[in-house]
Chains A and B, each alone.
Chain A
Amino acid sequence: MKAFTRRKSFFVAATAALALSLSACGGGGTGTTDDPTVAEKPTFAAGTTMEKLSSAGTIKIGTKFDQPLFGQVGLDGKPVGFDVEIGKLIAAELGIAADKIEWSETVSANREPFIEQGKVDLVIATYTINDKRKQVVDFAGPYYEAGQALMVNKDNDTIKTPEDVKGKKVCSVTGSTPAATIVDKYGAELVPAATYSACLEPLRNKQVEAITTDNVILAGFVDKEPDAFKLASDETFTKEPYGIGLKKGDTEFRNWINDQLEKFEENGSYEKAWEATAGSVIKTAPDLPEIDRY
């Protein structure tokens, strides 16, 4: 027994050392966009969230790590995508450089709790604004309006509209809003997966008839494999206004972010952010949707 304990502590120490040395690696750049110009010593009224973040010099932003084009983590552990670019732009206005942003992954169920517990200052994570969520968090934006669509195999001509999938197998992410819509509104049979990319194999093997989620994400898959997949139709059948989630009741911060979003559109950085990310698939940059100042 004694020998066992000693060995085990050696093993633990070795593992800890290994983990330590490993965490020292990593880093290295990707090639997304040049980081936005950081505002020089911006001033904010005392006591506001902007002032606190600005003087702290760091901001915690939650985003998706598995959403192609919007928030997807690269091999170096850093997320890239349109959501990430928007986050960088906002941080820059607070005088925070891109490398001072603490990114954390928000998964389906933890976005509201993370904001409520203050684990993140902002959530920019293909986060659809809806009334139920508005009861617990506030939303700035929308900064983009997506819509739900269907993706099918290239040779499939029977599915054009969401009405066509009634009673058929459709793959989507467990517990996501598009999954609920296709089942509740259109009567499809849901095949749930952990991520949208996990749906690709069953579709290829014709074990499901279609994949459904927001059009931009599907467009990303079609772009990668145009010979295998296509969108069932260019039209979307829901409106998914993406908002920036923040702590409930922080109206000053919300209004300030809304102002920044409008500014980004005017000075062209919104378009630039789009072109560097989702623009590789959907060429024309969208117009900023009308800000919902409630």
Chain B
Amino acid sequence: MSSVLYDVPGPKARRVSLIGSIVGSLLILGLLAWIIMTLAQQGIFEGRRWQIFTRADVWTLLANGLGATLSAAALAAVIAFPLGLLLCLLRISDAAIIRIPTRVVLEFFRGMPVVLMMLFVLLGFGTSPFIAVVTGLVLYNAAVFAEIIRAGVQSLPRGQREAGLAIGLTSFKSRMLIELPQAIRRMMPSLVAQMVVLLKDTSLGYIVAYGELLRAVQVMADFLGTQFLFPIFFVAAAIYIAINILVSRLAVWIERRGSKKAAGGVAKAEPEKAEAPVP
């Protein structure tokens, strides 16, 4: 796609671009070096600060936190996706009496901070922190999933539904058999990106004292002393980024496998519909 936007660069443009790239890279490297130097001057990279990572209990706590993060995220995703699908079906229903209340519900859950929902579930219903975290994540993400899938359905050519109805499928069957499978495949990048958002949002569980990764990190920094704050947070950030990139990559791989089968379908010829995940 990007090549459509500009001519293939000639020798002069390539040279300018190369020089620009080198200068830019040097600037960024310089900035990074300065950051590291400044932090090093304050003793953040001293060995003693990093020695805590030789302790087994530190890793046990990190692993427990990671386990809590992943299990809450996995359960929430498994519930939120079908729920989102259902909400989407209701949202695009032909009957206004179903469509409009669903829309109100979706707007409500989309518009509430996840932290607030978690706290509300914990206090209002007296659940465990785990249930509060999962419920908060499910309510919000189901609403977002529903919106993404709806955008996918609406981006399909009208002919898809018309053809389905013409061969005698009911409206519901046309949705289930013809429109949703295509919409989901088309929206897969957005859906996966939203899953990553969901995974990250488990970190909001601090509000209900759920012992996920970031909470574990905080507990550790509090317990061991502030001189270990920086090492611990750097490691936590690295773990999060690694896992999320892994999930994204996994999704890209799955998508590639899926799209091979669909090659040549209508979906490919249509321009991609803009629908982004919501942080």
Contacts and interface: CB of A to CB of B under 8 A. Distances in A.
Interface of A: 1, 3-4, 7-8, 11-12, 15-16, 18-19, 22-23, 25-26, 28, 65-66, 68, 72-77, 105-107, 109-110, 113-114, 117, 119, 194-195, 197, 200-201, 224-225
Contact of B126 (A11, A25, A119, A200): A119
Contacts of A1: 181, 184-185, 258
B225 A224 contact: yes
A68 to B, nearest CB: 7
B196 to A, nearest CB: 13
B254 A4 contact: yes
A3 B222 contact: no
Given A109-B123, A195-B222, A197-B221, A77 B207 contact: no
Given A19-B68, A23-B67, A195 B218 contact: yes
Interface string B181-203: 10011001000000000000000
Given A7-B254, A201-B229, A72 B222 contact: yes
Contacts of A225: 226
A195 B219 CA distance: 10
A201 B64 CA distance: 27
Given A7-B250, A19-B67, A197-B222, 12 more contacts: A1-B258, A4-B188, A7-B254, A11-B74, A18-B70, A19-B71, A23-B67, A73-B219, A75-B57, A107-B209, A109-B119, A194-B206
Contacts of B64: 22-23, 25-26, 77
Interface of chain B: mostly helix, strand, loop or mixed: helix
A77 B221 contact: no
Given A110-B123, A195-B218, A224-B225, A15 B71 contact: yes
Given A1-B181, A16-B74, A66-B219, A117 B126 contact: yes
Interface in B194-245: 206-209, 211, 218-226, 229
B70 A197 contact: no
B134 interface: no
Interface residues of B, number: 42
A19 B223 CA distance: 24
A4 B225 contact: no
Interface centre among A28, A75, A114, A224 (most CB of B within 10 A): A75
Contacts of B250: 7, 11
A28 B58 CA distance: 13
B116 to A, nearest CB: 11
Contacts of A68: 222
A16 to B, nearest CB: 7
Given A1-B184, A25-B63, A15 B222 contact: no
B257 interface: yes
A19 B222 contact: no
B60 interface: yes
Contacts of B74: 11-12, 15-16
B1 interface: no
B210 to A, nearest CB: 9
19 contacts: A1-B185, A3-B257, A11-B74, A12-B78, A16-B74, A18-B70, A18-B71, A22-B66, A26-B64, A66-B219, A72-B222, A73-B223, A75-B60, A75-B223, A105-B129, A107-B209, A110-B122, A195-B222, A224-B225
